[in-house]
A and B are shown apart, each in its own frame.
Chain A
Amino acid sequence: MITTEILIIGAGPAGLMAAIHAAEAGAKVLLVERADRLGGQLIKQTHKFFGSKAEFAGERGMDIAEKLINLSSDISGITIWKNAVVLGIYPDGVVTISHEGAFCTVSPKKIIIATGASEKTMAFPNNDLPGIYGAGAVQTLMNVHGVIPAKRILMIGAGNIGVIVAYQLLQAGVEVAGIVEAAPQVGGYRVHAAKLQRHGVPIYTSHSIQSAHGDSCLEGVTICRLDEQWQPIEGSEQYIAVDGLCLAVGLSPLTELLWQANCEMKFAAELGGYVPLRDANMKTTHENIYVAGDVSGVEEASAAMVEGKLAGLYVASVLGHKKDSFTKEFQTAKSQLSALRSGPASVKICTGLSKVVLEEVG
């Protein structure tokens, strides 16, 4: 049995920040990551991030990943396991992990779950044809492995992921046939949409996909217009010839471990689905389990990083590793987070959070 003070599950933006700040305070951290590399989705983000300097705004996601990975490797208090899948959290606090294929048991004092989110998909005829991808897969192919996913692609979803990935497709030399969005307006930041529009990419708002076509692989899709009740308008069907279709229709928190550990969960559509109830220090209803990042509600990576910092600092302090600067750093991070969430773009997030954040204790 391996013992550690803090086990952090997931090495994306939230997990890395939690590990760095907990270890800097003096805690012994085991950071486990399912993938064969650290950074989570950050490594695929070739665009510059929004936010403020404190969240690395203006820098590209992949460069932020590199910074955080280097920081986490330089701190002696952090042990990193890649290819490590957490299998279960047991009532006695023991966590089972498959690390490089070997079964291990870990006994941590506290756990920070930062597992992120997974992509939602859509039901329509022939949605299993080769050539139909989630936006994450498109980014992995293009931005991690340098492989273009298609010659001509249609994007479904004009949230931030849809508009950002469509722009990255253009940069990779892929023709973007358009973006289809069921809502009457673009959900992503308007500046992202403007970047596409000035390169001539049409945005079909109040439209949805009806079906995909092709024999052995995707050859085209039929889209149609939606009425005010989001119902297909008969006769509005339009065929678009494409060999690629990218779905960017939202994310759901990856909460399996929280359910298994009996954390109290609540459905908040604004946050992507079921999320754990937690207090303002990111502690769930389980005494030893904390959360940070998209697993606690789908939001921008900038917010995930600040949540990670908060959880890391707080959990370390609970274990007796309280830096002299703790109060100041913790309060600064809290104000940073509320500043990020204070604008009209975050109204939805705040509505969701009001349902799941318990009153601050202590």
Chain B
Amino acid sequence: MPSQERFAKGPIALFECMQQIPCNPCADACPRGAITVKEINDCPSLNEELCNGCGVCMTHCPGLSIFVVDYTYGKDAALVKIPYEFSPLPEAKSVVDALNRQGQCIGTAQVIRVQTSPNKTNIIWLSVPRELAMEVRSIHVMKGETS
């Protein structure tokens, strides 16, 4: 987990990849060489100074276990980027239910941007209350808010 100081500097990738499984596409994907998977069964380790939270690794992770959090996004809001492989995609500016790791609705999030990817792991940028930035990991798209 990055330090408060690192979070204060801007967006950073968070790896919710705690089990040793044979997998390393994130390391190959990072354009800045910030991710290392020494042996293929090791969990990834991140060079926090090199990572700029671009989110390229998120589209490559087969486990969809990488998220980006940016606490510098706003005074009361933080930006959370989540991988999303469902259709239909939410529409930018719409408000969606924000779900935690257990799938419980813990509030709402505003969709800031929908970044589509050729490999169909799309990235949704969400503005969430700061205190929920470490909780929100999925969304539920309500009817009438789809693109």
Is A355 on the interface with B (CB-CB < 8 A)? no
In chain B between 92 and 138, which residues have their CB closer than 8 angstroms to a CB of chain A?
99-104, 119-121, 137-138
When the two chains form their complex, are residues A343 and B20 in contact, meaning their CB atoms are under 8 A apart?
Answer: yes
- The answer to whether A302 touches B16, judged by C-beta atoms less than 8 angstroms apart, is no
Q: Does A257 contact B (CB under 8 A)?
A: no
Task: Give Cα A57 to B63, complex, Å.
Answer: 11
B interface footprint on A248-264 (CB within 8 Å = 1, 0 otherwise): 00000000000000000
Chain A residues numbered 136-194 whose CB sits less than 8 Å from any CB in chain B: 170-171, 189-192, 194
What sequence of 0s and 1s flags, for each residue 191-208 of chain A, a beta carbon within 8 Å of any chain B beta carbon? Answer: 110110111110000000
Decide: B19 and A189 in contact? CB cutoff 8 A.
Answer: yes
**A73 within 8 A of partner (CB):** no
Q: Tell whether, in the assembled complex, residue B21 and residue A343 are in contact, meaning their CB atoms are under 8 Å apart.
A: yes
Q: How far is the CA of A346 from the CA of B101 in the complex (A)?
A: 27
Q: Which residues of A contact B61 (CB under 8 A)?
A: 48, 58
**Interface segment out of the listed B6-14, B23-31, B45-53, B70-78:** B23-31
A195, B63: Cβ atoms closer than 8 Å? yes
Known: A57-B25, A171-B85. A191 touches B65 (CB 8 A): yes
Residues on the A chain within 8 Å of B18, using CB? 190
* Interface: B60 (CB within 8 A): yes
Task: Decide: A170 near B86, CB < 8 A? Known: A58-B29, A195-B64, A198-B100.
Answer: yes
> What DSSP secondary structure best describes chain B's contact surface?
loop
- A339 close to B138 (CB less than 8 A): no
Does chain B have a CB within 8 A of A49? yes
Pairwise interchain contact B41-A344, C-beta atoms closer than 8 A: yes
Closest to A191 in B: B63
Chain B residues, CB < 8 A from A302:
22
A52: Cβ under 8 A from any B Cβ = yes
Q: How many residues of A contact B (CB 8 A)?
A: 34
Binary contact track A44-59/B, C-beta < 8 Å → 1, others 0: 0001111111000111
| CB within 8 Å for A53 and B41 given contacts A198-B137, A198-B138 | no
When chains A and B are docked, how far (Å) is the Cα of A60 from the Cα of B61?
11
A340 at the interface (CB under 8 A from B): yes
Partner of A49, one of B62, B86, B103: B62
**B residues less than 8 Å from A342 (CB atoms):** 22, 39-41
Please judge, given known A-B contacts A189-B19, A191-B19, A340-B40, whether A200 and B62 are in contact too, CB under 8 Å: no
* Known interface pairs A191-B16, A342-B41; A201-B103 also in contact (CB < 8 Å): yes
* A339-B40 contact given A50-B22, A58-B28, A191-B64, CB 8 Å threshold: yes
* Contacting residues, chain B, for A48 (C-beta < 8 A): 25, 60-62, 119, 121
Q: Chain A's nearest CB lies how many Å from the CB of B28? A: 6
B142 contacts A by Cβ under 8 Å? no
A340 to B29, CA, bound (A): 19
Residues of B within 8 A of A346 (CB): 22, 41
B17 contacts chain A at the CB level, 8 A cutoff: yes
B122 to chain A, nearest CB (A): 12
Measured between beta carbons, the chain B residues less than 8 angstroms from A53 are 24-25, 28
CB–CB B28/A50 < 8 A: no
Confirm or deny: A75 has a beta carbon within 8 angstroms of a beta carbon on chain B: no
A35 close to chain B: CB less than 8 A = no
CB pair B103 A199 closer than 8 Å: yes
Q: How far is the CB of A304 from chain B (nearest CB, A)?
A: 14
- CB-nearest residue of chain A to B23: A50
Tell me which residues from 51 to 75 in chain A have a Cβ below 8 Å from any Cβ of chain B: 51-53, 57-60
30 A-B interface contacts by CB (under 8 A) = A50-B21, A51-B22, A51-B23, A51-B24, A51-B40, A52-B22, A53-B24, A53-B25, A57-B25, A57-B62, A58-B25, A58-B61, A58-B62, A189-B21, A191-B17, A191-B62, A197-B102, A198-B99, A198-B100, A200-B102, A200-B103, A200-B104, A300-B22, A339-B41, A341-B22, A342-B40, A343-B39, A343-B40, A344-B41, A346-B22
Contact surface of A with B, Cβ cutoff 8 Å = 47-53, 57-60, 170-171, 189-192, 194-195, 197-201, 300, 302, 339-346
Beyond A53-B25, A57-B25, 11 extra complex contacts between A and B, CB < 8 Å:
A48-B61, A58-B28, A58-B60, A60-B119, A189-B19, A191-B62, A199-B99, A200-B99, A201-B103, A339-B40, A345-B20
The 3 residue pairs across chains A and B that have the minimum distance between CB atoms: A200-B103, A343-B41, A191-B63
